[in-house]
Structure 1
Amino acid sequence: MTDWIDIAALDDIPQRGARVVKTRQGCVAVFRTAADEVFALDNTCPHKQGPLAEGIVHGSAVTCPLHNWVISLETGLVQGNDEGQVATYPARVEGGRILLDTTFLQARTAA
C-alpha cells in the first residue's frame, strides 16, 4: 500500500522550477515542468554534487547549475556523453497539491 504525504500546493513551485524538501535522509528536489508535471529526485548531481533544484528545467530534464550535466526528470539518468544516475521518487498532483510517496522517501539512503 502506498502512503502519500502532501508537501505543497502545485502553485508553490513555479513552472520550470523546483523546491527542496528536507528529509531525515537528505534533500529531495521536487520539479514542476511547463506542462505542470511533477518529478522528485535526489537534489545532488552525480558529477560534482551540484544542487539540482537550482538548475534549469527544460522539457522533462534539468541541467545541473555547476557543469551543465543534463538529467532526465523521468528516469534520473544523465543524458548525453556523461554517465550516472540520480535516484527518483514517485510524485503526483491531486487536487492541486503535490504528493510524494513516503515509502520511497523512507527507503532512501542518507545523502
Structure 2
Amino acid sequence: MNWIDIGAVEDIPLRGARLLKTHAGCIAVFRTAEAEVFAASNSCPHKGGPLADGIVHGQKVTCPLHNWVFDLNTGEAQGADTGRIAVYPVQLENGRILVDLSAAEQRSAA
C-alpha cells in the first residue's frame, strides 16, 4: 500500500469534504457526522458533478448536480440510479488522515 498523509482530520468539517489533487486525478476526502473519513473519486459518473461539493449524510454523498447518491464504503449508486465511483482505502492515525493512492496510480497507468 502507498499511504500518503494528507492532513489533520480537523481540517475537514463534519459532514464536509476536501479535494485532493493527485497526478491520477482529483479525489474527494469526506468526513461524516460521526467523524469517519472516506476517499472517493470526485467525479460523478452521471454528468461529472464535483462530489466534494455534494451533501454528506450518513456514509453517503449526494451529487450536487442531479442528486445521485453514492455509498462511500462501496462507491455504488443508491436507489434507482446505476453507476459507481472509485473508492480508496483511508485510515486515521494520531489525528492524521492517510489515503492509499495505489489504486488511483494503477488507473492512471492503464
Instruction: Give the TM-score normalised by the residue count of structure 1.
Output: 0.94
Answer with 28-37 or 101-110: which moved more: 101-110
Secondary structure in 1 matching 2:108: coil
Q: CA deviation at 1:27?
A: 0.1
Gapped runs of 5+ residues in structure 1?
none
Secondary structure in 1 matching 2:81: coil
Matching of residue 40 in structure 1 with residue 36 in structure 2? no
Alignment of structure 1 residues 53-64 onto 2, 5 Å: 53-64=52-63
Secondary structure in 1 matching 2:10: helix
Alignment of structure 1 residues 1-111 onto 2, 5 Å: 2-109=1-108
Rounded Cα–Cα distance in structure 2 between residues aligned with 1:16 and 1:43: 16
RMSD: 1.1
Flag as ranges the 4+ runs of structure 1 deviating above 3 A: none
Gapped runs of 5+ residues in structure 2?
none
Instruction: Give the TM-score normalised by the residue count of structure 2.
Output: 0.95
Q: CA deviation at 1:85?
A: 0.2
Identity of aligned residues (%): 61
Q: Deviations over 1:33-67 (max 9, x none)?
A: 11111111000001100000000000000000000
Q: CA deviation at 1:25?
A: 1.4
Paired residues of 2:76 and 2:85 also in contact (CA < 8 A) = yes
Query: Residue 43 of structure 1 aligns to which amino acid in structure 2?
Result: N
